[in-house]
Amino acid sequence: MDTRRQPIGIELVRRGIIGQADIEKAIEYQKIHPEKKIGDILNILGLCDANVLIRAIGDVLGEKGIVLHNFDVKIKPQEYVSLDVMKQNKAIPFDVEESKVKVCFADTSNKKSVDVIRLILLNKGLVMDKYITFESNMESILNSFEGGATDKLNTTSDVTQLVDSIIKTGMKKRASDIHIEPMDDSVRVRYRIDGELFTATNIPKDKQDQVIGRLKAISNMFQEKQESQDGRILMYPDYNIRVSSQRNVYGEKFVLRLLKKNEDIRNIFDLGFPQDEQILKNSFNKRNSITIMAAPTGEGKTTTLYSVIDYLNKPEINITTIEEPVEIRIAGLNQIEIDAKISFHDSLRTVLRQDPDIILVGEIRDKETAEIAMQAGQTGHYVLSTIHTIDAIEVITRLRKMGVSNYDISSTLATSVSQRLVRRICPNCSRQRPFTQQEIDIMSYIGRKSGVEFDFQNKYTFEAVGCEQCNNTGYLGRIGVFEILMIDDEIKELITNDASTLKIKELALNKGYKPLVIDAIYKVLSGITTLEEINKKLAIY
């Protein structure tokens, strides 16, 4: 319990639990036994009823206080947490109700210890219900376990269990990435969930070398090598986990990308694409051309292209993909995974001799890949690819900067589609409210700039509240917001004449092009996301 700070004694005096003379006696005792905390000393000296004292200390600290005895332990704690881990973190699981495990701590202010126990229980599908008790009681009960049937795990087993818990908890929480980061005084574990990073726990610094060693062992990395490495963890049946290590000033940081095997391809409309079959056909069902998906890293370009490929996939069509890596395997496709020995443009040259109808090129990174992709589009194939730009119109600028000619762009680029991922409001805890006038003014202004008038009648927005199901964020899952630029004859002429993207955008707006923010606002008006969330992604105010 947090008796490292003197004010807890003062607070107990103020509440009338003990007197000033009692505190003075406790302080004198602490001079001889500096390792003891004030709360424990008051109990040892018998200066207050133990139950009254621990409940008062718990109340001061915002915790539930209990005098824990052996007979209060109604379960076998070692079935939930190993004895070594209990001792190290001064914690005992003592009872369980449904999926809640009651755990007593000697010091609930030690966040590292609390997080370690919480993480282990989460891996077992259990929620922790936290209590505080006297350290002396804790030590007595832990010592009594030594003679019984305990699961005395050695250090290696503890670390194996800890790393396994970190990974499995990430899977359960729908994390896309797990960051394991050496810091000055601990090792921080963070999960990226729905695009946001959340700190899950902090591992004691003295475990750092063992955790890193375990990660290298299961990732098939060199133990001695401390430079950057790439590896894979294949020990979890449903996941292919890509691992990257990078040395920093405090040690080696690891990032684990969790890729679910055989994951079902989502319908493109479920991803947030405009609910219009004709728009879908006009955007992607082409010949003699190229369609490019544009967005920054991590905004779902590849997922959308998988959905498009699944939509286009038919037995009479030969589809080949060139990817780094192949993230989802799709029946009926020829999927090629490139590595350090072979580039996108080398693979693309070979694929053109394989009689393809549709080619998916994972990413256009350089002039050579871009020119071969354009050539493929000009010779009867349909090419799908991605590029890193901020919006659909900037695809033209990016291709120009790569060195692709205006002629090749105008004659081959049929559609550019840009997207962002925004978090969905959690349906379990969101709170409905009317739009404020300021919010209506912001959305109306944005609409007018793009020639759109939004209808605010009978429309409500939602506040992100937070609950257990959404990790207390108020959001659960993500959805795409899209913009689509159709390259018609007039836009082709502007490109050929080297017109600026500003001129191209002016013409596109007159012809019905709608920027990303317009689709985003429609999703706000539909109650799918919030204005705060799209502002976070698109900086609209």
Q: Are residues 389 and 337 part of one domain?
A: yes
Same domain as 209, residue 303: no
Pairing, β 177-182 against β 251-260 = antiparallel
Q: Are residues 163 and 74 both part of a single domain?
A: no
Q: What is the CATH number of the domain that holds 166?
A: 3.30.450.90
**CATH number of the domain to which 90 belongs:** 3.30.300.160
Tell whether 366 and 427 lie within a shared domain: yes
More confident residue, 310 or 145: 310
2 in a domain, yes or no?
no
Q: Is residue 50 part of a domain?
A: yes
**Same domain, yes or no, for 387 and 481?**
yes
Say if 191 falls within a structural domain.
Answer: yes
CATH of the domain at 329: 3.40.50.300
Q: What's the pLDDT score for residue 391? A: 94
Whether residue 128 is found in the same domain as residue 168: no
How high does pLDDT run on average in the chain? 88
Q: Where are the beta strands (DSSP E) in 217-346?
A: 229-233, 239-248, 251-260, 289-294, 319-323, 334-337
Structural domain total, the chain? 3
Please list, residue by residue across 299-308, b when 16 or more beta carbons sit within 10 angstroms of its beta carbon and e when fewer do: bbbbbbbbbb
Nearest in space to 160 (alpha carbons), one of 84, 48, 107: 84
Q: Which residues pair with 198 in a beta bridge?
A: 191
Lowest mean pLDDT across 65-74, 190-199, 228-237, 350-359: 65-74
Same domain, 131 and 252: no
Cα torsion 348, 349, 353, 355 to 10°: value is 30
Out of 228, 260, 292, a domain closes at 260
The pLDDT value given to residue 161: 82
DSSP state of 487: -
pLDDT tens, position by position, 114-166:
999 999 998 888 899 999 999 888 887 887 775 433 333 344 457 888 898 89
Q: Is 266 a domain residue?
A: no
Tokens of 44: 């040892």
In this structure, what DSSP letter does residue 264 have? P
pLDDT at 454: 95
Q: Could you tell me where the DSSP H helices lie in 47-109? A: 50-61, 83-89
pLDDT of res. 154? 41
Task: Name 532's Cβ contacts closer than 8 Å, sequence gap at least 6.
Answer: 464
Question: Any long-range contacts for 250-253 (C-beta under 8 Å, 24+ apart)?
Answer: 250/182, 250/183, 250/184, 251/182, 251/187, 251/208, 251/212, 252/182, 252/212, 252/226, 253/179, 253/180, 253/181, 253/182
Last residue of a domain, one of 112, 145, 178: 145
Evaluate whether residue 272 is within a structural domain: no
Q: What is the pTM of this model?
A: 0.67
Do 410 and 363 fall into the same domain? Answer: yes
135 belongs to a structural domain: yes
Share of the chain above pLDDT 70, in %: 96
Confidence tier at 7 by pLDDT (50, 70, 90): low
pLDDT tens-digit series, residues 336-378: 988 767 778 888 888 988 899 999 998 999 999 999 999 999 9
**Is the C-alpha dihedral spanning 123, 129, 131, 136 positive or negative?**
negative
Averaged pLDDT, 471-489: 93
The conformational region for residue 71 under phi > 0 = left, psi -120 to 50 = alpha, else beta, is alpha
Residues 256 and 121 grouped into a single domain:
no
Q: Which tens digit of pLDDT belongs to each residue from 59-93? A: 989 999 999 887 788 888 988 998 888 998 999 99
Q: Which residue has the higher pLDDT, 1 or 270?
A: 270
Residue 243 predicted with pLDDT over 50? yes
For residue 354 the two structure tokens come to 């394989």
Say yes or no: 251 and 341 in one domain: no
Residue 36 in any domain: the answer is yes
**Mean pLDDT within 209-217:** 91
CB-CB contact of 527 with 425 (8 Å): yes
8 Å CB contact between 179 and 255: yes
pLDDT for residue 458 is more than 50 = yes
What pLDDT does 157 receive? 56
Whether residue 376 is contained in a domain is answered as: yes
Q: Nearest-CA neighbor of 331 among 309, 358, 353, 357?
A: 309
pLDDT band per the 50, 70, 90 thresholds, residue 36:
confident
> What is the residue range of 285's domain?
277-538
Strand intervals (E) in 176-234: 177-182, 186-193, 196-204, 229-233
Q: What are phi and psi of 375, to 5 degrees?
A: -60, -40
Same domain assignment for residues 351 and 483 = yes
Q: What is residue 1's predicted lDDT score, i.e. its pLDDT? A: 45
382 and 236, same structural domain? no
Domain finish residue from 206, 233, 260:
260
